[in-house]
Amino acid sequence: MKRIFVAMRILVKFYNQPVLEIDVNDTETGRLYFDLTQKQHKQQRPFYRDTAIYTPGYMIELAHQAKKAFNWNWFSDQYDTSITAKLHKDLENSVGQMGFDQIPEEYDELLYDLHHCLHAIQFGKTTVGRYDNFQIEWLTDEAVPLPQSFEFKESSNPGDLILINPYVGHNPLQIYMENDFTSLGTTSRFHDIIKPAIVLTTGHPQISKDTILRAFLKHDPEFVQLHGQDKIKYYTGSAVVGQVVDIDLLNQVKQSTDILVLDKIEFYE
């Protein structure tokens, strides 16, 4: 019998793992996100890399590849936020400026791994394990505008479905959490479009928009004057558009000792 869902629902299945069911909010943004992601899935297989492999040791392996491919010096004895913020500028000035469609396909996976490994280990991850967002995406520049009706949330919960950050640059919340206020002209990007992806966040505690705005005023008042306080506050927070149905199943999948391999994704209404 065909399953019928009242809400927009996405099912994610990994080999030898339980099915994860994700409900998408019945909002203008939720509908745009659901339709775009479903459309992209029909055209292209999504890209998934198990974040369990992201460790400082793997970062060194990637650094050798980055040196050979781009002549980037990503070697370091540590990868805390003071280091990763500097290395991230290479990504901002390459794929961040040109987009994936302008990067030779042979470098797609290397750039993907460099970016996500960098963020995975910057807060002290040293061993194999999944401590960051659970993320499936399509390596494309396909996108639709974010509606003006959307509201960014000051907090998010584990298992919330969030819109993927559509840029290599960082939104105001991420800049604040990583204390990366250098070169805001290239680092800061406002989350104004929707891209196809499935991202289940680990969540973050409530941080008020005013707190983050004050940090921007302190570190770069000229940037605030350029864009305006209202714009910065509007684009501050988590872009929550849904939630996983069973957080216990999600935790079970994330705690698996097996390397996760994506089997299939299904969309239901």
Instruction: Please tell me the predicted confidence (pLDDT) of residue 100.
Output: 59
Domain ranges of the chain: 1-50+131-269, 51-129
Instruction: Please tell me the predicted confidence (pLDDT) of residue 126.
Output: 63
pTM equals 0.82
DSSP β-ladder status, 160-162 and 197-200: antiparallel
Q: What is the CB neighbour count within 10 angstroms for residue 44?
A: 13
Q: For residues 269 and 8, give the distance between their C-alpha atoms in angstroms, rounded to a whole number.
A: 5
Instruction: Please tell me the predicted confidence (pLDDT) of residue 1.
Output: 37
Beta strands in 45-151 (DSSP E): 134-137, 144-145
Whole-number percent of the chain with pLDDT over 90? 59
266: left (phi over 0), alpha (psi -120 to 50) or beta: beta
Write the CB contacts of 74 (distance below 8 Å, at least 6 apart in sequence). Answer: 59, 62, 63, 66, 67, 87, 90, 114
Instruction: Give tens-digit pLDDT for 127-149.
Output: 666 777 889 999 888 999 999 99
What are the C-alpha distances in Å from 182 to residues 88, 116, 156, 178, 269?
11, 20, 26, 11, 44
Q: For residues 9 and 242, give the distance between their C-alpha atoms in angstroms, rounded to a whole number.
A: 9
Q: For residues 13 and 3, give the distance between their C-alpha atoms in angstroms, rounded to a whole number.
A: 16
Class of the domain covering 1-50+131-269: mainly beta
Task: Indicate if the pLDDT at residue 178 is higher than 70.
Answer: yes
Structure tokens at 263: 């089997």
Instruction: Give tens-digit pLDDT for 65-90.
Output: 999 998 999 998 888 888 887 888 88
